[in-house]
Chains A and B, each alone.
Chain A
Amino acid sequence: MAQSSVKEAVNDVPGLRAVFVTAMPDCLLYDSWIRPEESWAAEEAASYFGDLVRANREGLRALKSWSAEMQVTIESADLLMIVRELRGDFVVTLAFQRDAPLGMVRLHAKRVMERLDQLLPTLEAQERPRAVKITEFLEKYAPDPHAALHRVALRTGIPLGTLRKPETLESSQVALLESSVCDILGLESLSL
């Protein structure tokens, strides 16, 4: 999708600082628009919002609750954000100035989602190897990310060079990798 299409979809929205479109289930940045005066890195931000929605969905599932297309509102010191699923293919994140009235923000968000629903294609989710998703997850969430693969290599005995090409791991190695990542992050399992 052309950059200009995202921009067109949000052209007349007051107080909007950025839009991130994250392709699911892999939480990869699909497209974005960021106000020129911001210094944000779209790729980095986009993947976390995908994880946020996925984690929310798991949380709701644990409460035996369900929502067709879930919307999350985040209020921080300087941002008001709407994070919303779109058709299951995408997560769209709209970041507004903090002082934008919440009611107006929700109204604009609804309109932007309707426009993007028309503009965004239907994605065929590509099945990426689980080991690739695991190492990406580790590098996103591990403290000291530059040392994370080294730690996995040391804990599992899998050579570091092999871990850097996770698509080549055998299934027994993938299991070791996953177990080690769970240990490092203190998680019972990885929802990937």
Chain B
Amino acid sequence: MSSLRRYLPEHDLMYFGPSPAVYHCHHFNLFLDQTIDDALGFEAGSRLRFLAAREFATPLLAGVAEQSKATTPAEKLELASKLFAGMGHGRLQISADARGGEAKGSFLHYGYSWSQKYGHVVKRRHPADAFGAGFAAAATEVALGTPQDTMTATEVGCVALKAPHCTFSLKPGERAPREPPVGESEVGQQLIPTFNGLYEEVIQPITKGLRDFTAPVQGDERGLVQAFGVYVTLHLAGYYNRISYEAVQQVERKAPHSLGVLEDLLRESGHVCVFNTFGGIILSPEWEGMVGPLTGEALPIVTGCIAIARALGFGRWTVAEFEPGKRLVVRAPCSYESVFYQARYGKAARPNEYFLQGACLAIAQLAHRVEWKNKPVLNADYYNALFRGGPLPWKVEQTKSTACGHPVTEVVVTRNEAARA
């Protein structure tokens, strides 16, 4: 597994085998999928999520099979199961031929983590594992050599709906329209010369340390990666990007008055992810060993977060300006969002790196609103309490994006003077 992971060191983008990849936690995964379904309705939302999973799992599975010299269907299906589990997505056993078949999942990341996070609070009405469905369909096509973009998979049982396992029904269907690929060469064409920012002498060693530590990490006996208080997945950047941007395009077309709300929720996906994951990393013994005990000052949190972002494959985020209590400016030559957008859709009409926006807001919150020296517990109650008492004390704006043709991507976080102190 670790041999498949590699970075573009100057841009801090990550690949897993041939595929652009990032690490993301269950908070992000669940909130983003939920937002897509809220925007499009469950049927259209889960269809989009399935198509995106199938599209971007295919080159990964095909590439790794070739690299591993897996030739028979059984070998390729076994490899797919190992990859799935190694990436932290759970256990998936596929039994299919050209006419279809079934897949059985246990501890699937989406369904299982949904049950853990929300299962005692609300009742769910629809299955959660469209990503698993798409992955199973792609694995079947790659293993059997059947025509690409034709195998369908539907989740017919889900642990989030209280079933004992997740089960999928696979069968051949109509060929879906082929999208322009976004792989390594397409991403490479979008890259502009990289640059550094402030505090690089602090940031770069932490990034390296985190990469060293996470290199051998893979799914446990359940196929899950539970670390830093979250479930972590090594995930496909193309999946996230396709579902986000296509949802935006569909809402722009059909319900343009709802676009602002959708963008708010896409930003919130980034915010909830970074707050919990980066916060969890900062509270970990690994962080304490690498960086030392927490001082409670804002700057080490900001530089630490930038280092974490690079280690997780989000891009070469840099600190352009930081005035504690007042202003944070993050710049980057690109992000995993901007390179995808440009490669697939061309120039963007406006800055639209939603994860980056939410993430930068979360960094300001982590730096200023958490009492680190008191060993806080960053649970759901703590997170929800951030929003009580009116608007957040920080606001975020993306002022530039390389996806728009600007020379840099830039996000500015400032104190919200209208909010409470």
Contacts and interface: CB of A to CB of B under 8 A. Distances in A.
Interface stretch (B95-103, B262-270, B366-374): B262-270
A159 B322 CA distance: 35
A183 B125 contact: yes
Given A142-B122, A154-B35, A186-B123, 14 more contacts: A141-B121, A143-B118, A145-B384, A145-B387, A146-B387, A150-B264, A151-B35, A151-B38, A154-B38, A154-B262, A155-B38, A157-B255, A160-B260, A185-B123
A144 interface: yes
A186 B125 contact: yes
Given A146-B387, A151-B38, A185 B261 contact: no
A187 B122 CA distance: 8
Given A143-B118, A145-B384, A154-B38, A186 B265 contact: no
Contacts of A150: 261, 264-265, 268
8 contacts: A144-B384, A150-B261, A154-B39, A154-B258, A154-B261, A154-B265, A159-B257, A187-B123
A102 to B, nearest CB: 27
Contacts of A142: 122
A104 to B, nearest CB: 33
Interface of B: 31, 34-35, 38-39, 117-118, 121-125, 255, 257-258, 260-262, 264-265, 268, 272, 380, 384, 386-387
Chain A binding surface, main DSSP class:
helix
A147 B122 CA distance: 15
Interface of A: 141-147, 150-151, 153-155, 157, 159-160, 183-187
A185 B122 contact: yes
B262 A186 contact: no
A146 B380 CA distance: 12
Contacts of B124: 186
A143 B121 contact: yes
Nearest to A145: B384
Nearest to A155: B38
Contacts of B261: 150, 153-154, 160
A191 to B, nearest CB: 15
Given A151-B265, A154-B262, A157-B258, A186 B122 contact: yes
A136 to B, nearest CB: 15
A125 to B, nearest CB: 28
Contacts of B122: 141-143, 184-186
A184 B118 CA distance: 12
A147 B258 contact: no
Nearest to A152: B38
Most buried by B among A143, A157, A160, A187: A143
A184 B261 CA distance: 16
B316 to A, nearest CB: 30
Indicate the member of B35, B122, B272 with the most A CB atoms within 10 Å.
Answer: B122
Contacts of A186: 122-125
B391 to A, nearest CB: 10
Nearest to A44: B388
B253 to A, nearest CB: 14
A159 B264 CA distance: 13
